[in-house]
């Protein structure tokens, strides 16, 4: 039976009169009569009996009319849910994000997104850029957020640049670095961040650090520097300005301009057709119109 059949049966049961039902359904009486015969043939039983006063529901007809009403109610509910989907952002937003961005920038944006779209769900994984690109290529996520340069061929959006700083409790200017015996604290990365630091270092000093400590996470690097163990080079995104007695010296390139890191949002064109992805991108744009901390 079709939705039209359900409608025919419920109207017939309401009117209990072929002529009135036909008028209400905007069909001819013979057409309605023929349709009823087809429905009864499908069920293999009589649904209505004709009398001088109109129609009479058979016991089987009562059961099937009740079923028809239930199906119409379910159809209406489904239509309401579909219309709600058109008017609201639903579904899961799947993001793969560079750890440093996921710890420092993304929570501020997601807070606004959740406030605006409480019905949407969020799936978030963090890691190195190679892991994020792998997740994108395999279709595990809708969008990826990476640090540094990228040759991504599909759609991409530049999010922000943030400057790099040498931070330490004792060193107050770059000229003091070659003379210090304090260790240079570095963190591992699979992006081009490490190479950028190496290039800057050799342009600046033409020599290797006297002592080096290598850690596996940028947050560990930051905390070791904040606790006075040594000095580190950190991006502005990790520096919230709450630590006292920490000197922050901006890195400059060969032209005397600040050395900065790019952050990109990547995805395939098809992903940006999804309502939850469009909504997230709009929140990102609004956030950057209101904030320029880097």
* DSSP type of residue 50: E
Strands (E), 105-150: 121-127, 143-147
pLDDT at 106: 95
CB 248 within 8 A of CB 182: no
Measured between alpha carbons, how far is 245 from 261 in angstroms, rounded to an integer?
A: 25
The answer to whether residues 143 and 110 belong to one domain is: yes
DSSP helix/strand/coil, 122 = strand
**Cβ(141)–Cβ(135) under 8 Å?**
yes
The counts of H helices and E strands in the chain are: 10, 11
CATH number at residue 256: 3.40.190.290
Q: Are residues 156 and 233 in the same domain?
A: no
From 59, 87, 115, the end of a domain falls on 87
Q: Are 172 and 245 members of one domain? A: yes
Same domain, yes or no: 240 and 179: yes
Could you tell me if 208 and 238 lie in one domain?
A: yes
155 and 269, same domain (yes or no): yes
- Residues 6 or more apart whose CB falls under 8 angstroms from that of 252 comprise 258, 259
How far apart CA 220 and CA 239 sit, in angstroms, is 13
Q: Which tokens belong to 2?
A: 């079709």
In this structure, the answer to whether residues 100 and 184 fall within a common structural domain is no
Q: How many domains does the chain have?
A: 3
154 and 282 housed in the same domain: yes
Whether 82 and 24 share a structural domain: yes
CATH assignment at residue 96: 3.40.190.10
Query: Closest by alpha carbon to 218, among 151, 262, 167, 159?
Result: 167
Long-range CB contact pairs, 247-251, < 8 A, 24+: 247/167, 247/168, 247/169, 247/170, 247/171, 247/172, 248/165, 248/166, 248/167, 249/165, 249/166, 249/167, 249/171, 249/172, 249/173, 249/174, 250/163, 250/164, 250/165, 251/163, 251/164, 251/165, 251/166, 251/200
Tell me, what CATH number does 19's domain have? 1.10.10.10
Point out the domain boundary residue: 87, 109, 130: 87
Q: Consecutive sets of 10 residues in the chain, 294 residues long: mean pLDDT of each?
A: 88 93 92 93 93 91 94 82 68 92 93 92 90 91 91 92 94 93 87 82 89 90 93 90 82 92 93 90 90 62
Residues 206, 60 share a domain: no
The answer to whether residues 207 and 178 touch, using CB atoms and an 8 Å cutoff, is yes
252 and 279 in a single domain? The answer is no
At 76 the pLDDT is: 79
pLDDT at site 84: 57
Bridge partners, residue 49, by sequence? 56
- Please indicate, yes or no, whether residues 15 and 139 belong to a single structural domain of this protein: no
Residue 211 and residue 182: Cα distance in Å, rounded? 7
List the domain range (segments joined by +) for residue 37: 3-87
Label the pairing between strands 212-215 and 48-51.
unpaired
- Picking from 189, 261, 245, 197, the residue whose alpha carbon sits closest to that of residue 220 is 189
Last residue of a domain, one of 87, 107, 141: 87
């Amino acid at each position: 039976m079709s939705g039209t059949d359900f409608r025919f049966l419920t109207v017939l049961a309401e009117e209990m009169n072929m002529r009135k039902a036909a008028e209400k359904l905007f069909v001819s009486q013979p057409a309605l009569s023929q349709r009823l015969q087809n429905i009864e043939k499908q069920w293999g039983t009589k649904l209505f009996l004709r009398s001088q006063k109109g129609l009479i529901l058979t016991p089987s007809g009562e059961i099937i009319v009740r079923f028809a009403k239930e199906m119409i109610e379910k159809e209406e509910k489904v239509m309401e849910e579909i219309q709600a989907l058109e008017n609201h952002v639903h579904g899961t937003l799947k993001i793969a994000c560079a750890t440093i961005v996921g710890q420092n920038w993304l929570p501020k944006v997601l807070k606004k997104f959740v406030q605006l779209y409480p019905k949407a769900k969020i799936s978030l994984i963090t890691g190195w850029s190679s892991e994020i690109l792998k997740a994108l290529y395999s279709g595990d996520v809708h969008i990826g957020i990476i640090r540094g340069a990228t040759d991504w061929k599909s759609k991409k959006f530049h999010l922000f640049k943030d400057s790099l700083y040498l931070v330490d409790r004792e060193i107050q200017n770059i000229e003091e670095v070659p003379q210090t015996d304090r260790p240079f604290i570095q963190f591992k990365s699979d992006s081009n961040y490490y190479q950028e630091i190496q290039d800057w270092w050799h342009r600046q000093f033409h020599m290797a650090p006297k002592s080096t400590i290598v850690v596996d996470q940028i947050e560990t690097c930051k905390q070791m520097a904040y606790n006075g163990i040594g000095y580190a080079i950190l991006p502005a995104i990790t520096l919230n300005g709450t630590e006292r007695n920490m000197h922050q010296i901006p890195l400059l390139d060969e032209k005397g301009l600040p050395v900065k890191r790019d952050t990109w949002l990547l995805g395939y064109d098809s992903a940006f057709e999804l309502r939850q992805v469009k909504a997230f991108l709009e929140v990102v744009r609004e956030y950057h119109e209101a904030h320029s901390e880097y």
